Amino acid sequence: MTKRSSKETALAAGDAWSRYWASRTLHSCPCAFSGNYDDEIREFWLGFFGDLPDGARVLDIGTGNGAVAFLACDAARQSDRTFHVEGIDAAEIHPAEAARQHGIDASQVVFSSRTACEQTGYPDARFDAVSSQYAVEYSRVADTLAEIARILKPGGRAGFILHHKDSEALATTRAEIRAFDFLRDEAALVVPSRRLLKRLGYARNPQDLAKRLQEPESKRLRAEIEALIGKVGQFAGENPQAAFAQAIALQVARILNGVGTNGPAAAMESLRILEDEMAAHRARLEAIRKAAQDATDLDRFCETARAVGLLPSAPAELRRAGRELLGWTLSASRAT
C-alpha cells in the first residue's frame, strides 16, 4: 500500500464533514441559531476582529460554510473598516449557497476547500489575524500552530474557540455516539433489512414480489425488523439526547414499506444512502469527542504555541448567559 502524505491524510479526514457542509448549513450549531451566531460566540469574535487595523488580512481556519469569516466582515463594517478575509477548510464547503439562504453576501470572502490547516500554502507573514472555531483541535495541533505562526505577521494575532470536554455539546455528542453504537450492536436494523431486500430483489414482477413477501423467511425477517424498531423506540424514550435514533428506525421502516411502489433495488439504494449518512455522522461525532479539550489539554496547547513562537493568553471558559458551557477561548500573538 502506498503511504499517503500528511496533506492527503488531512484532506481525507475532511470527507465526513464534506457531507455535512453540503447541506448548506451555515455553521455546526444550526438548531441553536436561526442565522449566524448571535450570542457570546459572536461577541468574542467581534471583540477579536474589532481591534484590527483598516486593510487587515484575516484567515479563518476550518471555516466550514463561513460563519466566523462572515463575523469578521461584520466587525469591519461596525468599525467602518475594510478587511481582506479568506477562509479555508479541509472539507468540501459551500459557503456561497449557505450565505444566500441567510441573506449574507459571500462575495466579501475568498474561500478555499480541500486546504489543510497544517499546510495552507500561503507565504510567510501573510496575515494580521488568524481565527479558528471548533477547528484547529481536529488537526495535528503542533503542525497547525507552527503554520499559524509562519503565516502571521510579527505581532499578528490568532484567536481560538475550542471544544470543551465538559460542555453540553460534548454531552450530547457522547449520547449520540452511544445511540449509533446501539443501532449497530444491539438493534442492528440494517442487517435484517438488507437480507429481506436481497430476497425480494429476485422478484421478476409485482406478483412475484407479493408472493415472496409472504414466504416464511420474509415474514421472519419482517418480524425481526419490527421487534428491533420497537427496541429502538424504547431506547430513544429512555435517552432523550439520542431520540434521533427513533427517526432513523422510522426511516428504515419507510424504506421497507415503499418496496411495493419503488421496488427492491430502489429500496436497497435508499438503505445504502442511509448507512453512508449514519457512518459519516458518527465519524463527525467521534472527531468532536476526540478533539474536545480539558484543562490539561489546554496547558499542552499553550506550551506548543509558545514553542513555535506564539504568545498565548490564559484560556477562559465561554458560557452562554453565564450558564451553558460553550467551549474554551484563547488568543495568541506572534512574537515580534
Please spell the DSSP secondary structure of 186-205, one letter per residue: T--THHHHHHHHHHHTT--S
Task: Return the CATH class of domain 6-167+292-334.
Answer: alpha beta
Distance CA 131, CA 241 (A): 31
The DSSP code for 309 is: T
Distance CA 105, CA 99 (A): 7
Q: What pLDDT sits at residue 31?
A: 64
Distance CA 233, CA 244 (A): 10
Distance CA 184, CA 205 (A): 33
Q: What pLDDT sits at residue 32?
A: 67
Distance CA 91, CA 26 (A): 14
Cβ atoms of 329 and 158 closer than 8 Å: no
Residue with cell 444566500: 100
140, 136, 139, 141: which is closest to 160 by C-alpha?
136
Q: What pLDDT sits at residue 172?
A: 93
Using DSSP's 3-state secondary structure scheme, residue 117 falls into coil
Percentages (nearest 5) of helix, strand, coil residues in the chain: 55, 15, 30
Taking only the tens of pLDDT, the chain with its 336 residues reads: 334 344 443 444 457 899 899 988 988 877 667 678 889 999 999 999 999 999 999 999 999 999 999 999 999 999 999 999 999 999 999 999 999 998 999 999 999 999 999 999 999 999 999 999 999 999 999 999 999 999 999 999 999 999 999 999 999 999 999 999 999 999 999 999 999 999 999 999 999 999 999 999 999 999 999 999 999 999 999 999 888 999 999 999 999 999 999 999 999 999 999 999 999 999 999 999 999 999 999 999 999 999 999 999 999 999 999 999 999 999 999 988
Distance CA 50, CA 171 (A): 33
Q: What pLDDT sits at residue 29?
A: 76
Residue with cell 460563519: 67
Cβ atoms of 92 and 65 closer than 8 Å: no
Cell of residue 136, nine digits: 484547529
Q: What pLDDT sits at residue 11?
A: 40
Distance CA 330, CA 68 (A): 15
129, 143, 166, 155: which is closest to 52 by C-alpha?
129
pTM as predicted? 0.87
Q: Give residue limits of the domains in the chain.
A: 6-167+292-334, 169-287
Task: Kindly give, in sequence order, each residue whose CB lies less than 8 Å from that of residue 227, ignoring residues fewer than 6 positions away.
Answer: none
